[in-house]
Amino acid sequence: MNKVLFILGIASIVIAVIALLYAALQRFGYYHVLDGDSDMYARMHLHMMVSFVIGIVFAIAAVACFVIRSKM
């Protein structure tokens, strides 16, 4: 069980980092694109917020996996 929690924790960290990097990329595009239509801005904002939340959720899951692993 220790090994499974360790692998899940590492996988969650990787997914969280990828999601947060994607959110940062969408934020950069949202604030630096000057000639986009409103649909593109709405889509970028939605992707930014959703991937940010997903990143936070996976980061919390990774911390929970490591805490549970250390208590066993």
Tokens for 72, please give them. Answer: 């066993």
Written as tens digits, the pLDDT of the chain (72 aa) is 889 999 999 999 999 999 999 999 999 999 999 888 999 999 999 999 999 999 999 999 999 999 999 988
CA–CA dist 25, 5 (Å, integer): 30
CA distances from residue 36 to 59, 60, 66, 68 in whole angstroms, order as listed: 32, 35, 43, 46
Tokens for 69, please give them. Answer: 């692993």
- At residue 34, the pLDDT reads 87
- At residue 18, the pLDDT reads 98
Tokens 């949202």 belong to 30
- At residue 35, the pLDDT reads 87
Tokens for 53, please give them. Answer: 């939340």
Task: Give this prediction's pTM.
Answer: 0.88
